[in-house]
Structure 1
Amino acid sequence: MALTDERLTTIAHRLLDVPGVVGVVLGGSRARGTHTEDSDYDLGLYYRSPLDTKRLGELAVEVAGPGSGVTAVGEWGPWVDGGGWLRIDGAAVDWLYRDVDRVERCWAEAERGRYGFHTQGGHPLGVPDHAYPGELALARILADPTGDLATLQRRVRVFPRPLAEALVAGLWEADFLAGVARKAVTRGDSAYVAGCLFRLVGVLTHALHGAAGRWLINEKGAVAATAVLPGAPGAFRSRVDAIFAALDADPSHLTAAIDLAADLVLETTDACAIMMR
């Protein structure tokens, strides 16, 4: 069931009554207009510590019914933070905590061209810290009484050139991964090769998004999103599919997959250089 903009705004303003919450945004595919009928509603709850999760849990029951609840801050891990998976008016609605101070720190690092991928359950590449400002850049603000989120959003919507340069410079790792993957070929170690090539592809997607000045905030759909970037290597998505389709314990197949990946690294490097001119 779809939620109306009016209903979402009403929920957002009720969330403002929770101590610590300073603003609420609609994120994910619903904000970008790429959603399907079955897509969840991702509500980003931007807060300044301390966040009153007891009151937030009570509100979850009020709007989503008995049995609904939320986590403590940090319960979902160091980078996803916490929240709640709810059903409101028959629709799946996720409440996701975002610490405003942390978002601002990640933005400051991105402006300096500093980034990292951080270990987090459910994120095999790791959570990129620059995804925090990227989420806000792509979100639709539902409630922001102080205007702080709108002010920050105007800044983060301009992709920082130093971050673009750093992500492109990070292509050295993709080349390195292709090399170390080859060391596992004679052992038929398809799992290790697959791991190397997954990370290699992740590095390529972020470099190409950086060169294009576009935020990439999710591993899911990253290859498809990269394939439609202006200037990306041709047939990017089908070539990535071909890499992983070739993986099994046969050394000749593993070598073929790595060769395909190495070619894509070279073309990505050239594409990024052209895009960054």
Structure 2
Amino acid sequence: MERLTEIADRLTGIGGVAGVCLGGSRARGTHRPDSDFDLGLYYRPPLDTAALRLLAAELAGEPVNVTEPGGWGPWVDGGAWLTVDGCRVDWIYRDLDRVHRIWEECRAGRFEVGIQAGHPLGVYSPAYVGEVAVGRVIADPGGELRALQHESRRYPEPLREALIANARWEAPFTLACARKGAARGDAFYVAGCLFRAVGLLVQGLHAHAGRWVLNEKGAVQDAEQLPAAPADFAARAHQLFAVPGTDPDVLSTVLDAADGLAGEVCARLTS
């Protein structure tokens, strides 16, 4: 941690960088020995990427590909992958003003879902706030990240209601749409609908418990631990994706199971 603090302090000395937050499994204490260190670089334009490249090369002992903002897509804003002292350290940009805007939207019960490589369910905008809420702030000269973290640790009730309402209508609707694909033996379409429906249920369960969802990885297992989750939620959800072939009757049976799971979750989300 001392080495990370040193790196974070040097990062905040670079033009545009307002603070650094440790995220991912390392912040939550669920990491493995080989887990990456994910450092969120919270910045305001203009970001001095030339200085970032010099620092990255110094830390890694070799040139590092440091992107411009937006270099990795519209939501995973950009950054760099480094190896420092034998450990993988990822720099991930976050536009601080955008995080503040999303926080205001969350407080008003508004969210959006954006397309992003590596996120098959899409990026739910509240994840930007959740990263600060559950992360570990390690450099914050102006105190801005810690202030936002203090505010966002209380999950907004309007956002909770909006995500629950969205799950309760869209998950059953998505599964109803899947029936058309099942009748044609379109396993590809059915599988996509199943993934989307389970993702919506996961979002609803987390919102019901006032818990931030940061991405899809591990989210089904995490949802099973929440108060509104039905028994064996994770096993039942994962079983939906063991679709054997393209037989319409088999696909229909899988959708029956999905409807049952969705019905149980949606009923619990009203309580």
TM-score range (shorter-chain normalised) is: over 0.9
Matched, 1:173 2:184: no
- Give runs of aligned pairs for residues 56-71 of structure 1, distance below 5 A: 56-71=52-67
Q: Which stretch shifts more, 16-25 or 241-250?
A: 241-250
Task: Report if the CA contact (8 A) 1:27-1:139 is conserved.
Answer: yes
Provide, for residues 79-116 of structure 1, a one-character-per-residue CA deviation record: whole Å limited to 9, x for no partner: 00000011000001100001110000111111111112
Cα distance in structure 1, aligned partners of 2:16 and 2:102 = 20
Question: In the TM superposition, what is the alpha-carbon distance from 1:117 to its structure 2 partner?
Answer: 1.0
Cα distance in structure 1, aligned partners of 2:14 and 2:85 = 21
Residue 40 of structure 1 is matched in structure 2 by 36
Unaligned runs of 5+ in 1: none
Residue 13 of structure 1 is matched in structure 2 by 9
Provide, for residues 58-93 of structure 1, a one-character-per-residue CA deviation record: whole Å limited to 9, x for no partner: 110011111223101101000000000110000011
Cα distance in structure 2, aligned partners of 1:41 and 1:178 = 38
Question: In the TM superposition, what is the alpha-carbon distance from 1:247 to its structure 2 partner?
Answer: 4.7
Residue 31 of structure 1 is matched in structure 2 by 27
- Give runs of aligned pairs for residues 159-170 of structure 1, distance below 5 A: 159-170=155-166
Question: In the TM superposition, what is the alpha-carbon distance from 1:242 to its structure 2 partner?
Answer: 1.3
Q: Which stretch shifts more, 103-112 or 251-260?
A: 251-260
Task: Report if the CA contact (8 A) 2:114-2:122 is conserved.
Answer: yes
Cα distance in structure 1, aligned partners of 2:17 and 2:244 = 47
Aligned equivalent of 2:125, options 117, 120, 129? 129
Q: Which stretch shifts more, 89-98 or 227-236?
A: 227-236
Provide, for residues 38-71 of structure 1, a one-character-per-residue CA deviation record: whole Å limited to 9, x for no partner: 1100000001111111111111001111122310
Superposed CA RMSD: 0.9
- Give runs of aligned pairs for residues 108-257 of structure 1, distance below 5 A: 108-171=104-167, 172-257=169-254
Aligned equivalent of 1:267, options 254, 264, 269? 264
Residue identity (%): 54
Cα distance in structure 1, aligned partners of 2:8 and 2:228 = 39
Question: In the TM superposition, what is the alpha-carbon distance from 1:231 to its structure 2 partner?
Answer: 2.5
Residue 53 of structure 1 is matched in structure 2 by 49
Provide, for residues 100-137 of structure 1, a one-character-per-residue CA deviation record: whole Å limited to 9, x for no partner: 10000111111111112101111111100010000000
4+ residue runs of structure 1 moved beyond 3 angstroms? none
Matched, 1:94 2:90: yes
Instruction: Report the CA distance shift for 1:227/1:247 in structure 2 as closer, same or farther (over 3 A).
Output: farther
SS at match of 1:180: helix
Cα distance in structure 2, aligned partners of 1:48 and 1:266 = 44
SS at match of 1:118: strand
Task: Report if the CA contact (8 A) 1:246-1:256 is conserved.
Answer: no
Q: Structure 1 counterpart of 2:23, which letter?
A: G
Number of aligned positions between the proteins: 270
Cα distance in structure 2, aligned partners of 1:14 and 1:35 = 25
Task: Report if the CA contact (8 A) 1:26-1:44 is conserved.
Answer: yes
TM-score, length of structure 2 as denominator length: 0.98
Question: In the TM superposition, what is the alpha-carbon distance from 1:253 to its structure 2 partner?
Answer: 1.6
